Amino acid sequence: MARTESNMFPLGKEAPQFTLPDVVSGKNVSLNDIKSDVATVVMFICNHCPFVKHVQHELVRLTNDYMPKGISFVAINSNDVENYPDDSPEKMKEVAEELGYPFPYLFDETQEVAKAYDAACTPDFYIFDGDLKCVYRGQLDDSRPGNDVPVTGESIRKALDQLLKGEPVDPNQRPSLGCNIKWKNQ
């Protein structure tokens, strides 16, 4: 497991479009299907990464707290499932159902979506405003496995609260840290 930081997608850049299969519903889901006029949170996660496991319950709380406020969420797994079978669509569905993921959990088999977002690690977070312009990218909060900092979602919550108040999102953002995305043929 290589500890990898976010690449820090440029603020103001438009969200790359995608259409990917949702492992729970079996339906294809596009960015336009889930886009919110308030904010859209795109999360790159997987099943096996200890950094993702560390925050999974907070992802559910965060989504349940902010979806009623008009914010949409989507999670994408782009890992190479041939070498990391715990991240297969079947296992993704099991995890999503076990944890009660309230957001679509999409499988990026070609890894093209991860490349378009310049995603580097799991978890990696992006917030786009109502015009799908990036206003936040980076960490969920300061918690990491073993650092004894509670998982609160503070960094994402602060950005979402600023958007909800019509305030600019603080551009001083910290990269996420997690396992590197498991690229094919590398």
Q: What are phi and psi of 98, to 5 degrees?
A: -65, -40
Structural fold of domain 3-180: Glutaredoxin (3.40.30)
Give CA torsion, residues 144, 86, 75, 124, to 10 deg.
40
Give one word for 26, left, alpha or beta, with left for phi > 0 and alpha for psi -120 to 50: left
Mean pLDDT on 55-64: 95
Mean pLDDT on 95-115: 96
Please give the pLDDT value at position 62: 97
Please give the pLDDT value at position 145: 87
Which residues have C-beta within 8 Å of that of residue 63, sequence separation ≥ 6?
41, 73, 101, 102, 103
Q: Check: CB of residue 138 under 8 Å from CB of residue 107.
A: no
Please give the pLDDT value at position 4: 76
Instruction: Supply the mean pLDDT for the chain.
Output: 93
Whether residue 2 is predicted with pLDDT greater than 80 in this model: the reply is no
Which is more confident, 175 or 4? 175
Closest by Cα among 151, 60, 49 to 100 = 60
Please give the pLDDT value at position 26: 95
Mean pLDDT on 120-139: 95
Whether residue 114 is predicted with pLDDT greater than 80 in this model: the reply is yes
Whole-angstrom Cα distance, residue 143 to residue 43? 17
Q: Check: CB of residue 180 under 8 Å from CB of residue 85.
A: no
Which residues have C-beta within 8 Å of that of residue 29, sequence separation ≥ 6?
19, 20, 21, 22, 74, 104, 106
Mean pLDDT on 40-47: 96
What would the pLDDT profile of 133-186 be if each residue is shown by its tens digit?
999 999 999 888 889 899 899 999 999 999 999 999 999 999 898 888 999 975
Q: What are phi and psi of 22, to 5 degrees?
A: -85, 120
Please give the pLDDT value at position 179: 87
Mean pLDDT on 53-67: 95
Mean pLDDT on 7-30: 95
The percentage of the chain sitting over the pLDDT mark of 90, rounded to a whole number, equals 82
